[in-house]
Structure 1
Amino acid sequence: MKKFLNTADTFLPDALAGLAAAHPELRVDVDTGTVVRTEAPESAKVALVSGGGSGHEPLHTGFVGAGMLDATCPGQIFTAPVPDQMLAAANAVNAGAGVLFVVKNYTGDVLNFEMAADLALEAGIEVQTVLVDDDVAVQDSTFTAGRRGTGATVFVEKLAGAAAARGDDLATVADIGRRVNAASRSFALALTACTTPAAGRPGFDLPDDEIEVGVGIHGEPGRTRERLRPARELVSEAMEAILADHEALGAGDDTIVMVNGLGATPLSELYLVYGEVASYLSERGIRIARTLVGNFVTSLDMAGCSITVCRVEEPFPQLWDSPVRTPALRWGC
C-alpha cells in the first residue's frame, strides 16, 4: 500500500485538519466529530445535516456550505458515525425551523440517524429524514436492507439545500429531497478494488481482464463479474439497468446526469463515459438538461465510475441553478 498518511489510526483526523486549514469557512470540531459552516445558523432557515463513513470525499464534507449542507458528521473510513455526532451537528445548526437529515441507505447510517432523530426530538428539535436509495444494481447487500444510497445523495443535498436556502419550510424541503431520490437511479462499474488505510491491501481480488458490474461504494459485490469490454458496451449495460428500473423516464423527458469517478479514474475517461451516456439517451429521445462530471462520491482509490440519472420535475432546474458555495460545488456566487 502506498498512501499519503502519517499513521492509519490518525488518517481521518489528519485529513479533517487539512480540510479545516484549506477552508476557514468550515469549522471542524474534533471533540464532537462534526464539520459545520462557520457562520451562525440563519434565522428561520431549515438546516441540512448529512454524514456517513469517510472515504467517499468530497461526499459529505465537501458539500458543507451555502446552498447545500449546514453540517456533516464524518465517521471512520467506511463506518457510520454515531448518534452523538449526528445530534451535535443538529444542535450546532438548528435555527428553529427544524433539521433535515439526509441519510444513505446503509444499515449503520439508518439506525444511528434514527436514534439521533429521537434524541433531537427529546431536545425540542423537529427533524425529518430523507433516505437515499438510488442504486439499481442490487436490492440487498451486506450493508443494506433494500437498495443502496449512492450518487443521488449529491442531487438530494443540492436541490433540498437550495430549497432550504430560499426559505422553504421543513415539510417542503423534505418533500423536495424525497422527490429527487424517487426520480434518480444509479449504477456503478469497478475496474479495481479500493484499499483502506487500516487494511493495507485491496478489499477484493479483481483480475486485470475483469470488472465488477454494479459494485457498491464500499466495494460490495455487484450483479456480476465480467470481462472488460469497450466502454460503449459497458455504458449500455449500465444504462439498460437504469432505464429498466426507471419506468417513468422516457422519450421527451429532461434529465440531470452525473458521471462520477470512484477515486482513481482519470477525468478523460469520465468524459469518455459521459459521451457514451449522452449518445445512449439521445438515441432514445431523452434530453440532458444539467450535467456533473468528476469525483463526487468516491471509494478511496477505486478505479471505476458510477452513472446517476435524475428525471427532471419542477422545480428541479431552478433549484439546481441556484447559488452554491462549498469546497466541492460552487456556482452562482
Structure 2
Amino acid sequence: MDQSSNCNCLPLRPTPMKKFQNSAHTFVHESLRGLAEVHADILAVHLDPTYVVRRENTPGQVAVISGGGSGHEPLDVGYVGQGMLAAACPGEIFTSCTPNQIVAAAQAAEQGAGCLFIVKNYRGDLLNFETALDMLDFDCSTVVVDDDASVDTSPHSVGRRGAAGTLIVQKVVGAAAAAGASLAECKTVGCRVNSQTASAGVSFQGCMDPITGSPTFVIGADEIEFGVGLHGEPGRQRIPMASAENLAARMLDTIMRDLKPKPEHRLLLCVNGFGATPLSELYVLFNAASGHLKARGLNIHCSLVGNYATSLDTPGGSITVTVLDDEIASLWLAPVHTAALRW
C-alpha cells in the first residue's frame, strides 16, 4: 500500500519573503522619504546623492558625520539631530555609502570648524571615507570604531569590526561638538571612548536580504551564531542554544577580557537588539548581564536597552559595555534630540 496516499501534508515549498516593500531597488529611498516626513522638524533628506542632514546646524560647530550600509536602522540616519550627528550617509542594504555621498553631506553640514567622520571598521567604509576626505578642501578627521571584541579578524573588516558601540561613540562625540569642542578635541574623545568600549553579540538565524530574498546564513534549530557581525556575517563560532544567563555570561566574558574594568570604574551597559528580538527578551538579557556584572563587583552607572544598531530582521542581540570617565559620562548624559535617541 502506498503510505503517501494517507498523508494530508502539503509538499514543502520555499517560504516567500514577506516585507513591507514595493521594490527592493527603491526600498532605501522610500524608507528615507518616510523618515524625512515623520521627522521634518529634525532632519532633511537629499536623494541625489543620498544623505540625511540636520535641519539646524550651529555656525562654528564641528560637524560629526557617519554612515555606511542601510539595514542597521536607526543607525546611522536615526541619530541625525541636535547633540549627535550633523549628517549621515546611507548606502544600499549592507553596502557602503559612496565618496560622492560623503562629500555632499560634509559640504552641506560643515559650519566652519571642520568635519569629524565616525567610521565603522569595514573595508568599504574605510576606503570610501578616506577617498572623500581627500576630495574635501576643509579640515576633516576620522575616528574608526572597532568595538566588536568577539573577533580579531574578519573577511569583512580590517581587524575588529564596528558594532553597536558606534552609537555610543556618535553620541559622545556629538555632545562634545555641541559643547563647542574643537575638531582635535572631538577626535581625541572619540578615540578614547572607542578604546573604552567593547561589544559581543549572538544571532539565532540569519536575516532575510530584501535584494536576494534569501537568508544571509542558515543554522540548525538548536544552534546559535556567537560573535555575529552587524551585517549578519558569521561570528567566532557556532554553539548550542543556551539560556539567557549562559549567553550573557559568555558575551560578558569576551567583553571583560577586552576592557578589564576595575570595581572603582563606572560602566555604561547597552543591550541592543538586531531587529527581530522583542523588547521583553532584551530586558531578560539585560537582567542577566546586570546580575553578572554586579556579581563581579562592578558598577552600572548608565544603561540603554532597545534596537539601536540592527541587522534588518535578525533575531538576536548584543551586549556593549563602556568604561566611563567623568568627561565621557557627562557627554553621554548631555541632552540629545534625534529621531531615535532623545533625552
What interval of TM-score do these two structures reach, taking the shorter chain for normalisation? Answer: over 0.9
Instruction: Tell me if 1:29 matches 2:46.
Output: yes
Q: What is the DSSP-based 3-state SS (H/G/I as helix, E as strand, rest coil) of the residue aligned with 1:330?
A: coil
Looking at structure 1, the residues matched to 300 and 59 of structure 2 have their Cα atoms a distance apart, in angstroms, of: 36
Structure 1 residue aligned with 2:171: 158
Instruction: Tell me if 1:48 matches 2:64.
Output: yes
Looking at structure 2, the residues matched to 311 and 43 of structure 1 have their Cα atoms a distance apart, in angstroms, of: 32
Looking at structure 1, the residues matched to 126 and 241 of structure 2 have their Cα atoms a distance apart, in angstroms, of: 35
Amino acid at match of 1:252: E
Query: C-alpha displacement at 1:321, in angstroms?
Result: 1.4
Give 5+ residue unaligned stretches, structure 1: none
Structure 2 residue aligned with 1:306: 318
Looking at structure 1, the residues matched to 144 and 279 of structure 2 have their Cα atoms a distance apart, in angstroms, of: 30
Structure 2 residue aligned with 1:253: 265
After TM superposition, list the pairs within 5 Å mapping 1:68-217 onto structure 2.
68-120=84-136, 123=137, 125-217=138-230
Query: C-alpha displacement at 1:206, in angstroms?
Result: 1.3
Looking at structure 2, the residues matched to 168 and 221 of structure 1 have their Cα atoms a distance apart, in angstroms, of: 39
- Provide, for residues 102-160 of structure 1, a one-character-per-residue CA deviation record: whole Å limited to 9, x for no partner: 0000000000000111111xx2x100100000001111112111000011111111011
CA RMSD between the two structures: 0.8
Looking at structure 1, the residues matched to 29 and 196 of structure 2 have their Cα atoms a distance apart, in angstroms, of: 36
Looking at structure 2, the residues matched to 328 and 73 of structure 1 have their Cα atoms a distance apart, in angstroms, of: 16
- Provide, for residues 192-211 of structure 1, a one-character-per-residue CA deviation record: whole Å limited to 9, x for no partner: 21011101011111111110
Query: C-alpha displacement at 1:250, in angstroms?
Result: 2.1
CA contact (8 A) 1:107 1:143 kept: yes
Looking at structure 2, the residues matched to 97 and 9 of structure 1 have their Cα atoms a distance apart, in angstroms, of: 37
Looking at structure 2, the residues matched to 230 and 143 of structure 1 have their Cα atoms a distance apart, in angstroms, of: 29
- Provide, for residues 86-114 of structure 1, a one-character-per-residue CA deviation record: whole Å limited to 9, x for no partner: 01111001111110000000000000000
Instruction: Tell me if 1:317 matches 2:329.
Output: yes
Query: C-alpha displacement at 1:314, in angstroms?
Result: 2.2
Looking at structure 2, the residues matched to 235 and 319 of structure 1 have their Cα atoms a distance apart, in angstroms, of: 27
Structure 1 residue aligned with 2:238: 225
Q: What is the DSSP-based 3-state SS (H/G/I as helix, E as strand, rest coil) of the residue aligned with 1:200?
A: coil
Looking at structure 1, the residues matched to 179 and 119 of structure 2 have their Cα atoms a distance apart, in angstroms, of: 22
CA contact (8 A) 1:141 1:220 kept: no
Q: What is the DSSP-based 3-state SS (H/G/I as helix, E as strand, rest coil) of the residue aligned with 2:231?
A: coil
Looking at structure 1, the residues matched to 262 and 34 of structure 2 have their Cα atoms a distance apart, in angstroms, of: 44
Structure 1 residue aligned with 2:12: none
Q: What is the DSSP-based 3-state SS (H/G/I as helix, E as strand, rest coil) of the residue aligned with 1:212?
A: strand
- Provide, for residues 18-47 of structure 1, a one-character-per-residue CA deviation record: whole Å limited to 9, x for no partner: 1111110211000121100122x3111001
Query: C-alpha displacement at 1:236, in angstroms?
Result: 0.5
Please identify, of 218-227 and 293-302, the stretch whose mean Cα deviation from structure 2 is larger: 218-227
Amino acid at match of 1:174: K
Give 5+ residue unaligned stretches, structure 2: 1-16
Q: What is the DSSP-based 3-state SS (H/G/I as helix, E as strand, rest coil) of the residue aligned with 2:36?
A: helix
Looking at structure 1, the residues matched to 172 and 242 of structure 2 have their Cα atoms a distance apart, in angstroms, of: 35
Structure 2 residue aligned with 1:262: 274
Amino acid at match of 2:87: A
Looking at structure 1, the residues matched to 150 and 22 of structure 2 have their Cα atoms a distance apart, in angstroms, of: 36
CA contact (8 A) 1:274 1:293 kept: yes
Looking at structure 1, the residues matched to 58 and 149 of structure 2 have their Cα atoms a distance apart, in angstroms, of: 37
Of 254, 279, 303 in structure 2, the residue corresponding to residue 291 of structure 1 is 303
Report the count of equivalent residues.
326
Runs of 4+ in 1 over 2 A off after TM superposition: none
Amino acid at match of 1:194: C
Amino acid at match of 1:193: G
Query: C-alpha displacement at 1:252, in angstroms?
Result: 2.2
Q: What is the DSSP-based 3-state SS (H/G/I as helix, E as strand, rest coil) of the residue aligned with 2:81?
A: coil
Q: Please identify the structure whose Cα radius of gyration is greater.
A: 2
TM-score (norm 2): 0.94
CA contact (8 A) 2:216 2:233 kept: no
CA contact (8 A) 1:250 1:284 kept: no
- Provide, for residues 207-244 of structure 1, a one-character-per-residue CA deviation record: whole Å limited to 9, x for no partner: 11110001111111111111101110111111101111
Identity, % of aligned positions: 48
TM-score (norm 1): 0.97
Q: What is the DSSP-based 3-state SS (H/G/I as helix, E as strand, rest coil) of the residue aligned with 2:58?
A: coil
